[in-house]
Amino acid sequence: MTVGTTPSVERGRDANVPPLLQIRDATKRYGGVMAVQGISFDIYPGEILGLIGPNGAGKTTLINLITGTAKPTHGTITFEGRSIVGRRPYVLGRGGIARTFQIVRPFANLTVRENVAVGAMYGAGGARRSTAEAFRKADEVIDFVHLGAQRGASADSLPVAWRKRLEVAKALAMEPKLLLLDEVMAGLRGTEIDQAMELIRAISARGITIVIIEHVMKVIVGVCERVVVLDYGKKIAEGTPGEVTSNPAVIEAYLGKKYAQEHRAGAPPTAAAAIEEEIRAAETEGAGKDEPGRQF
């Protein structure tokens, strides 16, 4: 079941503003696996769009298609009205599309500052930037993401949560128009999650359009205006966070048919909490499944 974009979501959006990114029938096949299958939706300038779905749903693959890391088997993707299918990631980086990787990949022997400076040289403003300017940009971004105290530390010495923040800094230094965040909050707890949500709102306030893949439902509900839900490579729902987390098809995708049937008759379950609980269990079971090779 696909729930169309609802009037409550459309309200407040200027009908004259064209989408920043348009995905039509995007499909990616790996051998016999349809990682992404016939997905279509739009991303509008300035919005924070959530992309959720159980492990293996195709979220990272979709990000790979948008950023040129993988080429769709079928379908079209346009950015600012122009097709980007077949473009290399560095070309798209210069054009204003930046992403973080689910498996963080800093240059381990470089410092935090050097890592972010590489991002500054690689992105939209990179071609016209001297090394000194790249370091200035890096310093500004490092302060913005609150990594100042770690500026001179080598990237591989950072705890995972800070490496994720470094990933965000590297991507931000590229001065993107569209930023795709692939599970940057995994491993964060309590106040760290609140701080990360603040950071996302601050990035959005800079006018950057954000796509966020996140299992922590508090984050999706707290920062996203609209959510697209994937399951087995297909889009199964689209709507506000409230709409998708109370959608039986979404609950079923996460929790299985039995759970959905049990709850359909009575009061709706607190879906957000239930989804999170289920994901935590799945993550524990599937630990180590996400080897870096799967990213590409």
Ligand X SMILES: Nc1ncnc2c1ncn2[C@@H]1O[C@H](COP(=O)(O)OP(=O)(O)O)[C@@H](O)[C@H]1O
Count Cα atoms within 13 angstroms, Cβ side, for 199: 24
119 binds, among ligand X, Mg ion, none (CB under 5 to 8 A by kind): none
Among residues 248, 246, 209, 253, which one has the least CA distance to residue 231?
253
CA distance 251 to 223: 20
Query: Which residue from 56, 9, 23, 10 is spatially nearest to 180, judged by alpha carbons?
Result: 23
CB of 36 to ligand X, least distance (A): 7
State the residues that interact with ligand X by CB under 6 A: 30, 33, 35, 53, 55-61, 294, 296
Closest CA to 33 of 70, 88, 85: 70
Look at strands 74-79 and 82-83 and give their pairing. Answer: antiparallel
Minimum distance, C-beta of residue 171 to ligand X, in the bound complex (Å): 17
Torsion 64-68-69-72 (CA) sign? positive
Q: Which helix (H) or strand (E) holds 275?
A: helix 271-285
CB 166 → ligand X: shortest distance, Å? 21
User: How many other C-beta atoms are found inside a 10 Å radius of the C-beta of residue 82?
Assistant: 9
Among ligand X, Mg ion, none, what does residue 100 contact (CB within 5–8 Å per kind)? none
- Contact segment (CB under 5 A) with Mg ion among 43-51, 96-104, 171-179, 222-230 equals 96-104
Asked if 100 is part of the footprint of Mg ion (rule: CB under 5 A), the reply reads no
Q: Encoding tokens for residue 240?
A: 């506000």
Which is closer to ligand X, CB of 30 or CB of 90?
Answer: 30
- Give 53 or 96: the residue with its C-beta nearer to Mg ion: 53
Nearer to Mg ion, 201 or 289 (CB): 289
Which residue is closest to Mg ion by CB?
Answer: 60
- Contact of 25 with 76, CB cutoff 8 Å: yes
The number of beta carbons lying within 10 Å of the beta carbon of residue 150 is 21
Rank residues 129 and 215 by Cβ distance to Mg ion and give the closer one.
Answer: 215
Closest approach of Mg ion to the CB of residue 56, in Å: 8
- Please say which residue, 193 or 282, places its beta carbon nearer to ligand X: 282
At position 10, the amino acid (one-letter code) is E
Residue 296 binding result from ligand X, Mg ion, none, given CB thresholds of 5 to 8 Å by partner type: ligand X
The token pair at 65 is 């298609």
The single-letter DSSP state of residue 158 is S
Q: Which does 204 bind (CB under 5 to 8 A by kind): ligand X, Mg ion, none?
A: none
Nearest approach, Cβ of residue 23 and ligand X (Å): 14
Q: Which of residues 245-274 bind Mg ion (CB under 5 A)?
A: none
In whole angstroms, how close is the CB of 124 to Mg ion at the nearest point?
Answer: 25
Residue 35: contacted member of ligand X, Mg ion, none (CB under 5 to 8 Å, by partner type): ligand X
* Nearest distance, CB of residue 49 and Mg ion, angstroms: 16
DSSP per-residue letters across 48-83? EEEEE-STTSSHHHHHHHHHTSS--SEEEEEETTEE
Residue 67 binding target from Mg ion, ligand X, none, CB below 5 to 8 Å by type: none
Applying the rule CB under 5 A, the residues between 17 and 76 that interact with Mg ion are: 59-60
Binding site for Mg ion (CB under 5 A): 59-60, 102
